A and B are shown apart, each in its own frame.
Chain A
Amino acid sequence: MQALLHQVLSGLANGGIYASVALALVMIYQSTHHVNFAQGEMATFSTYIAWQMINLGLPYWVAFLLTLVFAFVMGVAIERIIVRPFYKAPALSVVAVFIGLLLVINSLSGAIFDYTIKPFPSPFPTDAWYGSPYLSSHEVGMIFVTLVVLALVFAFFRFTPLGLAMRAAAENPVSSRLVGVRVGWMLALGWGLAGLIGAVAGMMTAPIVYLDPYMMFSVLLYGFAGALLGGIDNAWGAVLGGFIVGVLQNLAGAYLVGTELMVTVALVIIVGILVIKPAGLFGRTIVTRV
């Protein structure tokens, strides 16, 4: 029973990461209907920036905040410069561009910071009072940070005029433009926020899996699975989906298939959802008028 509890709890901790990535994916999907394959690589690159700053002697939380700024600017820049021309392009071009981005950013991480695996510090001391046999202090901190980020994102969209404008731009670009919302910039801001959330996920994952250019590859896949499970057009659903995938993955790894087939679990979840309930648990079913 204790083992089960441990698996569920640490699954929740991982799930927090997947939830963040899923939320970042949903943020871009809602406004443009693009699935950002480069999300994980953007996060990895931002984490490298954080690593560099910490190595230069900056305190962790200063580096953390500066990295968030960097990730935001990077997201905006990528949208404005590379993705914008493909706003209305067919899916094939868009996916090809995203895969191209994935490769370019991944090789940039490798070229600048080289491919050796690096340890990444955790801001949560291992002997902190909130650590327990069930959940290490980093895992507790990770869940806490994830929840804070989610709450901030929610508050931003719910209570600020800018958040409202962004929601409007995603919901109905034409009408939003008519009432004076700068839709193009709203999309760019969405990318910036997605980059920022991804960076948080990257910095929280790195202490566990160590920093290397391929760090976020499987995380991205679980993020996809989470977003699909919850419904890729529903932010809350995606977050919940991320947590569920984290727990499922841990349970399957412990009791069902062993750690060797973890990625296959994600494949099964993705294909399973797409086949049985493509809208996800909480997503809108899209009815096309013929």
Chain B
Amino acid sequence: MATLDTSRPAAAELFAGLSLRTWKLVGLAAVLVAACILPFVISSYQLLLATQVIVYAVALLGLNILTGYNGQFSLGHGAFYAIGAYTTAILLDKTGIPYWATIPAAGMICLVMGFLFGLPALRLEGHYLALATFALAFAMPQLLKFKDFDFLTGGVQGIVITAPDPPAGLPIRADQWLYFFCLLWTVLLFLLGWNLLRGRTGRALVAIRDHPLAAATMGIDTARYKSFTFGVSAMYTGIAGALGALLAQFVSPDSFDLFLSIRFLVGIVVGGLASMGGVFFGAIFIEFVPNIADQLSKAAPQALYGGVLIACMYVMPSGVAGLVRGIGLRLKRWTAAGPP
């Protein structure tokens, strides 16, 4: 496997004198710069939404690693989001741990939880896994409300936490600081994910998705990879949950119901399965579209989610990312052939 040539032929292609790879890097840098300027030009309400978008993007990346790349289902990632959020909230509420240290803690706990849930999930495929995770998403709010855990979780009332202050000496508001804090985590996790998926591990995950039997024959330890992926995926979503808790300054059982998990599914389907950039489209979709649809009627957001899920499967199975890629390919062919 190590001898496989993975260098992309695209690197040789030129577009306006620069290679495609360079263009991609330039584009990425531009997006990052724009992301850093953003909090100083938009209102604090818009900033709240923007922060929520990048938090969702992390959660969606977690789910996409599992579903898009590894082909394992989860209708229950809202549960891991909840575990992450509650870990941060409980640590902030009960202990003196600084807020930034609670994020890795939430990630670790979700990693372990995800790994443990992934172990039985190894034996489940397709619909069965969807079923088991569906039940998990269903049971989560109940477990969080359970009275014997009240001393930790605060029961139905949930836990109120205070937003972190910016470090002394930085001349920015608390919400701007939180945005940068989340952005930092997002960049870190995307780098980690990119590293994970582009190499040997990523190929193994995709191989398991496309043909588990062939993958096993090639010497890939499918069981280990699958439970490992479940853990990593849960870790991403858990960290997103922890960041989301800091952002909302409040956690309560009913905000982590089945529909949160379904939102995540809608997000990766709309954004594009097995696409890292696509999760941002997905995150923007699940953050803004229901808010707009909500003004029509109470039923509209859900109907829209459902309709979009079905429509995507009909006409756009690779999501927005696939659409963009398709347009890019067409453009490239057009430039290669020369303008007519």
Q: Which A residues have a C-beta under 8 Å from some C-beta of B?
A: 33-35, 37, 82, 85-86, 89, 91-97, 99-108, 110-111, 115, 217-218, 221, 224-225, 228, 260-264, 266-267, 270-271, 274-275, 278, 290
Is the CB–CB distance between A278 and B302 below 8 Å?
Answer: no
Given contacts A85-B314, A93-B313, contact A101 B127 (CB under 8 A): no
Is the CB–CB distance between A99 and B273 below 8 Å?
Answer: no
Is the CB–CB distance between A99 and B131 below 8 Å?
Answer: no
Which one, B127, B136, B299, contacts A267 given CB within 8 A? Answer: B136
Is the CB–CB distance between A274 and B124 below 8 Å?
Answer: yes
User: How far is B303's CA from A275's CA once the two chains are assembled, in angstroms?
Assistant: 35
Is the CB–CB distance between A106 and B302 below 8 Å?
Answer: yes
The minimal Cβ–Cβ distance linking B304 to chain A, given in whole angstroms, is 8
Which one, B73, B135, B258, contacts A92 given CB within 8 A? Answer: B73
The minimal Cβ–Cβ distance linking B68 to chain A, given in whole angstroms, is 9
Given contacts A221-B138, A271-B120, contact A95 B130 (CB under 8 A): yes
Is the CB–CB distance between A108 and B265 below 8 Å?
Answer: no
Given contacts A34-B127, A92-B273, A100-B307, contact A267 B298 (CB under 8 A): no
Is the CB–CB distance between A103 and B303 below 8 Å?
Answer: yes
Interface of A is mostly: helix
Q: Which B residues have a C-beta under 8 Å from some C-beta of A?
A: 67, 71, 73, 75, 120, 123-128, 130-132, 134-136, 138-139, 142-143, 145-147, 213, 258, 262, 265, 269, 273, 297-300, 302-303, 305-310, 312-314, 317
User: How far is B300's CA from A110's CA once the two chains are assembled, in angstroms?
Assistant: 10
Is the CB–CB distance between B302 and A100 below 8 Å?
Answer: no
Report chain B residues within 8 Å CB of A103. Answer: 262, 302-303, 305-306, 309
- 25 A-B contact pairs sorted by A residue (CB < 8 Å): A34-B127, A35-B128, A82-B310, A91-B130, A92-B273, A93-B317, A95-B75, A95-B126, A95-B127, A95-B130, A96-B312, A97-B313, A99-B75, A99-B262, A100-B305, A102-B306, A103-B303, A103-B309, A104-B303, A107-B300, A224-B134, A225-B135, A260-B146, A263-B139, A278-B128
User: How far is B131's CA from A221's CA once the two chains are assembled, in angstroms?
Assistant: 9
| Most chain B Cβ neighbours within 10 Å, of A82, A86, A107 | A107
Is the CB–CB distance between B73 and A111 below 8 Å?
Answer: no
Report chain B residues within 8 Å CB of A290. Answer: 213
Is the CB–CB distance between B135 and A224 below 8 Å?
Answer: yes
Which one, A108, A110, A266, contacts B139 given CB within 8 A? Answer: A266
Report chain A residues within 8 Å CB of B314. Answer: 85
Interface of B is mostly: helix
Given contacts A35-B130, A99-B265, A100-B313, contact A107 B71 (CB under 8 A): no
User: How far is B298's CA from A115's CA once the two chains are assembled, in angstroms?
Assistant: 9
Is the CB–CB distance between A111 and B303 below 8 Å?
Answer: yes
Report chain B residues within 8 Å CB of A33. Answer: 127
| Most chain B Cβ neighbours within 10 Å, of A104, A221, A262, A290 | A104
User: How far is B145's CA from A260's CA once the two chains are assembled, in angstroms?
Assistant: 8
User: How far is B128's CA from A35's CA once the two chains are assembled, in angstroms?
Assistant: 8
Is the CB–CB distance between B303 and A37 below 8 Å?
Answer: no
Which one, A37, A96, A278, contacts B313 given CB within 8 A? Answer: A96
The minimal Cβ–Cβ distance linking A245 to chain B, given in whole angstroms, is 12
Is the CB–CB distance between B127 and A110 below 8 Å?
Answer: no
Report chain A residues within 8 Å CB of B130. Answer: 35, 37, 91, 95
Given contacts A95-B73, A263-B138, contact A100 B146 (CB under 8 A): no
User: How far is B289's CA from A37's CA once the two chains are assembled, in angstroms?
Assistant: 24
User: How far is B273's CA from A97's CA once the two chains are assembled, in angstroms?
Assistant: 15
Report chain A residues within 8 Å CB of B147. Answer: 260
Apart from A266-B139, A278-B123, list 10 A-B contacts with CB within 8 A.
Answer: A35-B127, A95-B73, A96-B265, A97-B313, A99-B306, A104-B303, A104-B306, A221-B135, A267-B138, A290-B213
Is the CB–CB distance between B142 and A261 below 8 Å?
Answer: yes
Is the CB–CB distance between A37 and B134 below 8 Å?
Answer: yes
Report chain B residues within 8 Å CB of A86. Answer: 313
| Chain B residue nearest to A109 in the complex (CB) | B299
The minimal Cβ–Cβ distance linking B314 to chain A, given in whole angstroms, is 7
Report chain B residues within 8 Å CB of A95. Answer: 73, 75, 126-127, 130
The minimal Cβ–Cβ distance linking B122 to chain A, given in whole angstroms, is 9
Is the CB–CB distance between B123 and A111 below 8 Å?
Answer: no
Which one, B128, B135, B139, B306, contacts A101 given CB within 8 A? Answer: B306
| Chain B residue nearest to A269 in the complex (CB) | B135
Report chain B residues within 8 Å CB of A111. Answer: 297-300, 303
Is the CB–CB distance between B132 and A271 below 8 Å?
Answer: yes
Report chain B residues within 8 Å CB of A94. Answer: 127
Given contacts A86-B313, A104-B303, A107-B302, contact A91 B127 (CB under 8 A): yes
Is the CB–CB distance between B120 and A267 below 8 Å?
Answer: no
